[in-house]
Structure formats: C-alpha cells, structure tokens
Amino acid sequence: MNFLRNYPKRFFWRVYFIGLAVSLILDFVWLRSDVLHYHFPFQHLPEFFAIFGIFGCMLLILIAKGMGCFIVRDEDYYEKNQGDEE
Amino acid sequence: MTGWIHPGIVVFLGGFLIPFIKWRKIKLAYFLLLPVAGMTIVVLTSIGFFGSVPSWPEGLHKWRIPFLQYSLVLGKIDKMSMIFAYIYLIAAFCMNIYGLRVKNDWEHVAAMAYVGSALGAIFAGDFLTLFFFLEAMSWAPVFLLWFRGTKKSMGAGVRYALWHHFSGACILAGIVIHLHKTGSIELVHLPWGWGGEFVGYNLMLLGFIINSATTPFHSWLSDTYSEATPSGSIYMTAYTTKTAIYCLIRTFSGVPLLMWMGAIQAVFALFLAVLENDGRRLCSYHIISQIGYMVAGVGIGTEMAINGAISHALCHIIYNALLYMGAGCVLVVVGTAKFNELGGLYKYMPISFWLYMVGGFSISGFPLFNGFVSKVMTIEAAELIHNAPIYLLLEGATVGTFLHTGLKLPWNMWLQGKDEPPPNIRAKLKDSVVNTPVNMLIGMGILAFLCIFMGVYPKVLYDRLPYAVEFIPFTTTRVFSIMQMFIFTFMGFWLLRKLVLGYPTYTLDTDWPFRMAGRQLIQFCEEPLMAFANFVDEKVMNLVHSLIWFSRNPVFALHIKKEEAKLKMKRFIISPERAEKHKQVLEEKRRRYPGELPKLTLGASLVLILLVFSLYLILYLLIK
C-alpha cells in the first residue's frame, strides 16, 4: 500500500505490464486447449485481440488525423463567415 | 380511464407548477418528487395494482380516448414500455439532483416537460399519440438550449428545431400514408422495402433515423448537445435518441439497412471524436457511436439482438448521463470543457474524476460495469448470425470508445502529465479536493452506483427484458478477449498520446452541406432576391403614383401630356428661345396641376357611365 501511495505511476506501470504479459501467455495456452469459444475463424489467430486492439486504436487515430487535414477548421468557422455577411 | 394514472402526464403537467411555488425548499423538494411520483405509478403498475400486465408481446391498454373515428391509446403497458419507463424515471431523478442549483425555474419546467413527453411517447399505443408526444419532445430541448443564452446556443436551438420538425413532418407523412392504406392507427410493426408502395414507411423510417441521430443524420446531436446548459444537456443525452430507438424497435426491427447503418455509425463517429477538442462534443460523438450498437441490434432483429438493443439503450442512458455530468461539472466549476485549456484538474476534483471514470469504464464495456452486460449481447447477436463485417465494426467501436472516453478525455481534462492546471483555470478553483457542488456529486454517485450494480448483477436488467434471456455475459472468452483488447488499446494510445491532445479547432460534420446550403439560400434571399423585389416594388409604386397623379384631373393631365409630346417634337424645328418659353409655360401648368376640375354636363356623365358598362359587358362576354 505504501508503495502505491508513494509511486502511483510506477505501480500502475508494473501492474500494466504484468497484465499484458499474462494476457499474452494465457492467449497462447488457452487457444491450444478448449477454453475459448469463438465464432469466426479469424478470432482463432494467435493474439488476435491484442493485434486488433493496438492496431485498431492506432489506425483510428492516424486515419482520423488524415481526415483532419480536410475537415478541421478554425474554432469560430461558422460564426466567422456569418460575421462577414452581416 | 379507471385507476391508472399516466406517469408521463403527471411529470409533464406537474412540471408547470414549479415556478409558482414560492418557498425555495418546497420547490426543490417538489422538483425531486415529480420523478418519484412517476416511479411510484410505474412500480404499482408492474406489481399489478391496475390490472395484471399480460406477457409479451401482449399489452394492457389504458386511457383510451375517442378521437374522430379512431381510438387513441395513451397507455399501452407492456414489458418494453415498462422497462423504458423505469430507466427514464430513475435517470430523471438523478438528473434533477444534479440540476438542483439551477436558478431558472423555467429550465426545470422544460426538463420536466421533456421527460414527461418522453414517457408519453413510450406509453403511446397508436401512431397519432406517438406523433403528438414526439413533437412535444422536439420542443422542450429547444428551450434547454435557449436558456443558456449564448449566441451559439440560440443558433443551435433553431437548428435543433429545424431538424426535429423535419423529422416530425416525415413521420406524420408516413403515418398519414399508412392510415390511408390500412385505416388503422394502431402502433404495429411495419413492413419495409424499396419501391413505390413503401414510400410512407421509408419516410417514417427516415424520421426515426433522424431522431435517433443515425449517420449521416447524426450531426444535429453533436452540434446542439454541447451548446445546452450544463444540466439541460444531461436530459438531452437520455431521451430523444433512446425514444427513437424505442420507436424503431416497435416499428422497423429486422430491417437489414439499419444493421449496416448502425455498425458504420458506431465506427464513423469515433473518427470525428479523435479530432474533437470540446469535452461535451466528444461525449456527443460517443452517444452517436453507442446508438450505432442499438441501431445495429434493431437491424439484426433477432430476439437476442432486440434484447441487446433495449438493454444497451437503458444502460447507455445511465452511463452517458454520468459522462456528461463529469464533463458538465468541469464546465460549471472552471467555465470551459475545452481540452486545450484544461489539464491537471485531478488534484482539485478527484471525486468527479473517479465518478466520471466509472462512466468511462461502463461505456467502454469493461467487465463488471453495465456497458459490458448490454454491449456483448448485441455483439454476440452479430456473431450468431455469422456476419463478420458487422462484428468487426462493433468490436472496433469498442476499442475506439475506450480510447476516447476511457483515455483521451480523462487524460486531457484531469491528468495530462501536469500536477497543476493552467494558471487561469487554477484561479477559479478553491484549495480543496471538493470543488464540484455536492448535489452534482450525489447525482453522479447514484448513477455510478447503478452502473456498477447493473454490471455486477445483470439479472436485475435481464429479468425485465421483453424476450426471455438465457444469457451469461461473463464467459471466459468474452472477459479475456475484451481485457486483452483494452490492454493493447492502452498501448496504442500511449504510443500516440501526443496526437490526441486538444487543439482549438472545429471539425466539420455531415451537416456542412445543409448549413452551407441554408446560408447560401439566406444569402440568395437577402441579396439578389431582395434586389429584384425592390426593383419590382419601385416600378409598381411609380406606376401607382402616376395613376394617382393622372386621376386627380384626367382632362388637364391629358392636356399636359399632349403639350409635353408636342414640345419634344417641336424641339428640333423651333428656335431654342421659343422652346425655352414653351417649357416654362409647361412648367407653370404642371405647378398649377390639378387646378380647377372640369365640370361635366349630365349628358357627358351618362355617356361615360354607359361607356364603362359597355366595356365591362364586352369583357364579360369575351371571358365567358
């Protein structure tokens, strides 16, 4: 508990990496046994959800940033144009 | 009309008494008691006090009112309307606590009218009643927007009204066509297809789609919800879209188009959320994304999917109100919810942060929070129909939801690597860990408790769903796969965290063509059209003036005109001096005009009258 209070960030990262390692190992172990029940063949790929999570997240940000080149405007976009007309 | 009292009418009409109560404490107590009164009626109804509720899909019909040759049913009570009523009233109670400090009584009135009409819509047993309450629902939020009083919110209110009256007109057109075809106004499941005979149904579907903020008609939601008053926006998040989902389930479940629209919407809204800088707008995009799950569930249309859509709509009301409250209390305390101006608030508002995070975990679908128990139903339904693209889109939306509400928003608002907020924000905060008003924390606390309670004990929700549920959400596969996904989503976020910082920008949405077209139309009306109108106006007025001038003394006027014409002709032959003299005489005549009126003899008058009559006769004969 003292460790958590004194170094919350370090504690968080330790827990995080332990969780990460455990999830990777469990995936390998459970895929070979009969624990996980999936509906689609691609879900049986090793570490599918890890790959889906990290690449899904990064792709989302990168594609959105790419879209942003076309659709991002100044904060007062609509008000500004209105001002010109009045 | 025996026995049963309509909870929606109680809340709707009861709200109008609020401004007339003089004592503040009684007023607030009354304001809190309104949803409790509604809740009491709903609880009494469900235990069979007003007659036992038959099993789904049969319903109990109360409050039949004859109207023209039809019978309006204001109270159709079945399992689906009951579960919606429960959540609507519980949410309204928490929202009322959150909004207790609002000084403007009429804001309370608008909110209660809104909740009341939403209840009216879900108890409606026929299309006309449904339409009436949907229209009432489209007015109340306009006031919640206008009461904020900023120029932006005024404009947003008008846009909200425009969108919803357009959708209302579509729904009404659909109802009229349906009525003409079948002769019945009973609220039933409707056929759907492409082609001429389905025009009315497609119009009605369009109306519901706009109301439920389905892509590409979602932009009104993000545009307006973020402009409402901090507590008014909480009400708006819950009722309009969820009532539209309710209507879709009743009328258009199993339409494949909806399945695709919903799944695409769930992901599309997240792209726009990445670029968003305003906390409340970001949450608005998440409403849109979450509605995608419900619309997809309605579109899949199996029993599991419908149950999923209903339970997700209800859980969504709870956790999204919580999210909006979290962003709203930052807005109330420091006056802004923009990411580029915030950061490091954790030290001063830790309780709000953790309550918000409960909502964030719920919307992301963490196991043991209520989003999980409802979201996996829809995803499972997509798996069971073996539709991989729908499954991937919905699962991908889970990743994006966690990225934004679980990571981006709290990171930008509360944490962002700094221990202290920016100085201008810091100046508005007290040196205490509780900066948020207590009533707001209580409202959030109750909702957070519900999020966790429903997540840990989903039976309380599942038992009240229309279709019998044999569904266990916590299987190893689901819990494991979703946890692994979130762990790696966090890694993706951490690697690209610099990219999701807030920048003071505005992101265009699908309403851009509408707003631009509207602006062009107004510009066209104001400039070319007005110029043309002025031109026509001027010409007509000139004509009128000359007619008036002429009719003062037609004989003399004719004489002047004749002289004018003569002068013009003569100018070329006579000497300039004579022409000048002639002109002066003419000017003198003009000045004297109308002069002495000529006196007609009786005979001349008679001839004139006869002439007019004979002209009239000729005209009459010609036209005939």
Task: Look at residue B321 and tell me whether its pLDDT is greater than 80.
Answer: yes
The answer to whether the CB atoms of A42 and B489 lie below 8 A apart is no
pLDDT at A84: 46
On chain B, the residues whose CB falls within 8 A of the CB of A55 are 492
End-to-end CA distance of chain A: 63
For B472, left (φ over 0), alpha (ψ -120 to 50), or beta? beta
The answer to whether the CB atoms of B487 and A50 lie below 8 A apart is yes
Residue B251 neighbours by CB under 8 Å, 6+ apart: B187, B188, B189, B190, B204, B205, B208
The answer to whether the CB atoms of A71 and B508 lie below 8 A apart is yes
The answer to whether the CB atoms of A39 and B496 lie below 8 A apart is no
On chain B, the residues whose CB falls within 8 A of the CB of A65 are 274-275, 499
- Partner residue facing A39 (CB), from B383, B483, B507: B383
Mean of pLDDT values over B222-250? 91
Residue B238 neighbours by CB under 8 Å, 6+ apart: B88, B91, B95, B317, B320, B321
Residue type, A81: N
Cis peptide before B19 (omega within 30 of 0): no
CB neighbours (10 Å) of residue B534? 10
Q: What is the dihedral of CA B184, B185, B186, B188, to 10 degrees?
A: 90
Assigned token pair, B139: 């007015």
On chain A, the residues whose CB falls within 8 A of the CB of B482 are 49
B345-371 pLDDT per residue, tens: 888 888 888 999 999 999 998 989 998
Which A residues 5-44 touch B at CB under 8 Å?
16, 19-20, 23-24, 26-27, 30, 35-40, 42-43
Assigned token pair, A47: 């570490």
Nearest CA distance, B391 vs chain A (angstrom): 10
pLDDT at A4: 61
Cis peptide before B7 (omega within 30 of 0): no
For B386, left (φ over 0), alpha (ψ -120 to 50), or beta? left
pLDDT at A86: 38
B245-284 pLDDT per residue, tens: 999 999 999 999 999 999 999 999 999 888 888 888 888 9
pLDDT at A82: 60
Residue of chain B with shortest Cα separation from A9: B417
Q: Is B524 on the interface with A (CB under 8 A)?
A: no
Instruction: Quickly state the pLDDT bin for A5 (edges 50, 70, 90).
Output: low
Cis peptide before B421 (omega within 30 of 0): no
Mean of pLDDT values over B510-526? 88
- SS3 string, B286-339, reads HHHHHHHHHHHHHHHCCHHHHHHHHHHHHHHHHHHHHHHHHHHHHHHHHCCCEH
For the ranges B4-18, B148-162, B264-278, B413-427, the lowest mean pLDDT is seen at B413-427
Angle at B577 between CA B576 and CA B579, to 5 degrees: 60
Domain-wise residue ranges, chain A: 1-37, 39-86
Higher pLDDT among residues B61 and B534, named by residue: B534
Residue of chain A with shortest Cα separation from B381: A39
On chain A, the residues whose CB falls within 8 A of the CB of B501 are none
Please give the model's pTM, rounded to 2 decimal places: 0.86
pLDDT at B503: 81
**Of B537, B554, B541, the residue nearest B595 (C-alpha):** B554
The answer to whether the CB atoms of B386 and A81 lie below 8 A apart is no
CB pairs under 8 A between A and B: 143
Contact B350, B433 (CB under 8 A): yes
Assigned token pair, B491: 């890694």
Mean of pLDDT values over B562-574? 84
On chain B, the residues whose CB falls within 8 A of the CB of A53 are 399, 484-489, 491-492
- Partner residue facing B515 (CB), from A51, A62, A78: A78
The answer to whether the CB atoms of B499 and A61 lie below 8 A apart is yes
On chain B, the residues whose CB falls within 8 A of the CB of A56 are 396, 399-400, 489, 492
Instruction: Quickly state the pLDDT bin for B1 (edges 50, 70, 90).
Output: very low
Contact B156, B116 (CB under 8 A): no
The answer to whether the CB atoms of B395 and A52 lie below 8 A apart is yes
Mean of pLDDT values over B382-390? 90
pLDDT at B469: 79
The answer to whether the CB atoms of A56 and B489 lie below 8 A apart is yes
Best residue in B159, B224, B271 for a mutation probing chain A (most A CBs within 10 Å): B271
DSSP element (H, E) containing B64: strand B60-67
Average pLDDT score, chain B:
89
Strands B70-77 and A72-74 come out as unpaired
Task: Look at residue B420 and tell me whether its pLDDT is greater than 80.
Answer: no
Contact B448, B358 (CB under 8 A): yes
B304-314 pLDDT per residue, tens: 999 999 999 99
Contact B191, B204 (CB under 8 A): no
A18-48 pLDDT per residue, tens: 999 998 888 888 877 777 788 888 888 888 8
What proportion of chain B, given as a percentage, has pLDDT over 70? Answer: 99
Which B residues 241-280 touch A at CB under 8 Å?
270-275, 277
Helices B303-334 and B350-364 pack at an angle, to 10 degrees, of 160
- Partner residue facing B492 (CB), from A26, A53, A74: A53
ipTM: 0.89
- Partner residue facing A35 (CB), from B476, B484, B490: B476
